[in-house]
Copies of this chain bind each other. A is one copy, B any other.
Amino acid sequence: MTDYGELNPPLRILMGPGPSNVHPRVLRAMSTPLVGHLDPEFLKIMDEVQELLRYVFQTKNQFTIPVSGTGSAGMETGFVNLIEDGDEVVVGVNGVFGERMSDIAGRCGGKLTRVEAEWGNIIPPEKIAEAVKGKKVKLVAVVHAETSTGAWQPLEEIANISHNAGALFLVDAVTSLGGCPVKLDEWGIDVCYSGTQKCLSAPPGLSPVSFNERARQVITSRKKKVQSWYLDMSMIEKYWGKERTYHHTAPITMVYGLREALRLIQEEGLENCFKRHELNHKALKKGLEKLGLSLHAHEGHRLWMLNTVRVPEGVDEARVRKRLLDEFNIEIGGGLGVLKGKVWRVGLMGYSSREENVLYFLHAMEKILDGEGWKK
């Protein structure tokens, strides 16, 4: 029989589009022996995680929980619970994750209107206003931080447009939560989901979501059952809420990790956490400019935590990434979709957003681009 040997992966500096490096304290928390998912002590931990999630989501929403799947499960949770056959849905599409939302909205039977923008630009609020005009739209959805392009979508105006049209406003904050402000209550976001593996510095596997009362009302007044049993919030709510009714077994170890990750953000302070992400982004940008490299996302709408860097003419981008990984243990991402081959994606998320990482990455890039090893 094959002997697979002890787990011994290389020690990487994770500066791609996620996962980011997990804080050692989070890994330590995850090595804690488990209690049961209905243990009174676990119920306390669940409450704490919910309180801490409300802190990072800047919300009072009672129904704020981690869904038992990755960010995409959170996306699906938003759509399957709110959309029924024939409901009008408006989705902003300016990257891979807007595309994904469209795909999911369609699978839920939603009648889809796509509002498109070039990859790297934001969705202009006025185009959303046009799209909702004269329709009975149930849901407007956009991506806050488009991980495939580096574009930073402003949200407040679209929230107002959605509400004036009588629609709910859903936001993908997978990459933004914990790295820049995501103010659910102040901005009027009705439903929001995120992921643990980006600016929260925990491993992938959970998707924090938050539904406000308006969104919950929509769920409770559905005509048909939610098409996903696993993501049915009307049932999951009874486990995370007062009833504590068993639904599915919570991923206990991941919840342990998330608790510690959120505690780290609380210790640092949310505002300081944002400032750190901003500062390291600025340092990276300056360094890249010195190397003659430039950012792809539209100026004024560039994310702090995910930087799309234009691949210079004649450079074999995959070869550069391979050398970064093999020689420097640095992971960055390639472009997706229409940006494939055209950009690198450099993440500075959570525990990966550190000065030493910025400096070491710039040093590595300088060395690689200085030689001959980058040519096509």
Contacts and interface: CB of A to CB of B under 8 A. Distances in A.
Interface of A: 1-2, 4, 7, 9-12, 14, 16, 18-19, 21-22, 27-37, 39-42, 45, 48, 51-52, 55, 68-73, 75-76, 80, 100, 103-104, 106-108, 195, 197, 203-205, 225-230, 246-254, 256-257, 259-260, 263, 266, 325, 331, 336
B4 A263 contact: yes
A35 B12 contact: yes
B31 A11 contact: no
Given A225-B107, A229-B104, A229-B107, A251 B204 contact: yes
Contact of A70 (B11, B75, B249): B249
Contact of A68 (B19, B34, B69, B256): B69
A1 B268 CA distance: 12
7 contacts: A4-B259, A4-B266, A12-B34, A19-B249, A19-B252, A21-B33, A195-B249
Contacts of A336: 246
Contacts of A259: 4, 7
A241 to B, nearest CB: 19
A204 B230 CA distance: 14
Given A31-B31, A106-B225, 5 more contacts: A1-B266, A12-B35, A70-B249, A72-B249, A107-B225
A229 B72 contact: yes
10 nearest A-B residue pairs (beta carbon): A205-B251, A203-B253, A72-B248, A31-B31, A204-B249, A27-B31, A104-B229, A36-B331, A9-B35, A76-B230
Complex copy number for this chain: 2
Nearest to A202: B253
Contact of A39 (B1, B195, B227, B325): B325
Nearest to A326: B40
A341 B69 CA distance: 32
A225 B75 CA distance: 17
Contacts of A19: 34, 36-37, 249, 252
Contact of A251 (B39, B70, B225, B248): B70
Q: Which of A16, A42, A69, A100 has the most CB of B within 10 A?
A: A69
Contact of A35 (B37, B197, B249, B331): B331
Given A2-B51, A225-B107, A266-B1, A34 B203 contact: yes
A325 B41 CA distance: 11
